[in-house]
Amino acid sequence: MISDQTRAAATIEEVAAVAGVSRSTVSRVVNGSTAVSPAAAESVRRAIAELNYVPNRAARSLASRSTLAIALVVPEDTSRLFGDPFFASIVSGINARISRSDYVLNLIMASADPGDKTAQYVRSGAVDGAIVVSHHTSDTFIDRIAAAVPVVYGGRPVRSRGGDYYVDVDNVAGARDATAFLVGRGRTRIAAITGPPSMPAGVDRAQGYRLAVADAGLTPAPVAEGDFTVESGADAMREILATGEPFDGLFVASDLMARGAMQVLAAAGVGIPDEVSVVGFDDSPIALTTEPQLTTMRQPSFTQGERMADVLIARLAGNEPPEVTILDTELIVRGSA
């Protein structure tokens, strides 16, 4: 028999299940929002009492204090964070919005952490909420963070629990439009370098590519997988070339991977765009450093960062921002296609 002392602490999902309401409703009650019906609020309070659920933010509210700190949790290593212009832009957007508020931003790198240290820090009451950027299927510790404080995700969460708040771009439509652009350029054998299947952006951009190929009735061309780094793009390009299958177009799911792929194509004597047209994704500063300059899908990463921070600040104020915000992408045409 499990004693009260050894029983695992109740989660916000368990409270929601017992109360018969959504996770977001429990979060609003815990954070003192009045935007909940009296009946739902009473059900949540009864469930909290029954399960002995005491979230950190509720404890701080009882003490009439707030940390006025927000955690930016990035489950990546430092070389990835500081080497990818996407992160620089999105973090700049987050910081710009938070600088206009009373909050300060705490950056947490969680790549080499199995999760306990990061989750314990957030759950200890050190921050009022968290923004999570670039999460993977393996990052299960994020669930423990989301059970303790309000969270907003950059991109669709890898494990949807219902009531999740996130800001994303339309990755499927963006990749579909990028590939369709190559079709419009007369390309009939379009290869692809996709992102990792452990990340929703990787999955969605691969789906958009496949939809565009199917829309055009084209014969499938080689596809290789990367991890959004220059090195993985180069490796994937070598893998595609090694198949010996012909292709005259290439969709790449990030600008960094496109740079690596274009370097390999150039070394192999393949002309861009004469022999192979290339389209990337991001419109990061990297797109201006390739030879020729990269045609790419622009995602408004600075705006995405601002919106993420805005949604979290609204939640912490007890307001009801939209749970899902989807931003559009835009094709930027340059010399590679």
pLDDT score of 283? 95
Domain residues for the domain of 40 are 12-54
Poorest-confidence range of 36-40, 184-188, 212-216, 322-326? 36-40
Same domain, 35 and 76: no
* pLDDT band at residue 154 using 50, 70 and 90 as cut-offs: very high
- 134 versus 249: the higher-pLDDT residue is 249
Examine residue 322 and state whether it is found in any structural domain, yes or no: yes
Mean pLDDT across 305-318: 94
Same domain, 16 and 79: no
Examine residue 6 and state whether it is found in any structural domain, yes or no: no
Examine residue 310 and state whether it is found in any structural domain, yes or no: yes
Same domain, 190 and 117: no
Mean pLDDT across 176-205: 96
Q: What is the mean pLDDT of the chain?
A: 88
* pLDDT band at residue 130 using 50, 70 and 90 as cut-offs: very high
Per the structure, the count of domains in the chain is 3
pLDDT score of 62? 43
Structure tokens at 62: 């009882």
pLDDT above 90 for 190: yes
Q: Rounded to an integer, what distance in angstroms lies between the CA atom of residue 251 and that of residue 306?
A: 28
Same domain, 196 and 111: no
Same domain, 290 and 187: yes
pLDDT above 90 for 227: yes
CATH number, domain at 175?
Answer: 3.40.50.2300
Same domain, 30 and 124: no
pLDDT score of 5? 43
- 26 versus 263: the higher-pLDDT residue is 263
Same domain, 107 and 40: no
pLDDT score of 2? 37
Examine residue 123 and state whether it is found in any structural domain, yes or no: yes
Examine residue 127 and state whether it is found in any structural domain, yes or no: yes
Same domain, 189 and 280: yes
Q: Rounded to an integer, what distance in angstroms lies between the CA atom of residue 196 and that of residue 224?
A: 10
Same domain, 131 and 162: yes
Examine residue 35 and state whether it is found in any structural domain, yes or no: yes
Same domain, 142 and 158: yes
Poorest-confidence range of 73-77, 89-93, 219-223? 73-77
Examine residue 337 and state whether it is found in any structural domain, yes or no: no
Examine residue 79 and state whether it is found in any structural domain, yes or no: yes
- 239 versus 28: the higher-pLDDT residue is 239
pLDDT above 80 for 216: yes
Mean pLDDT across 184-213: 96
pLDDT score of 59? 47
Length, in residues, of the chain: 337
Same domain, 120 and 140: yes
Mean pLDDT across 275-301: 96
Mean pLDDT across 236-254: 97
Same domain, 284 and 186: yes
- 160 versus 270: the higher-pLDDT residue is 270
Mean pLDDT across 153-163: 81
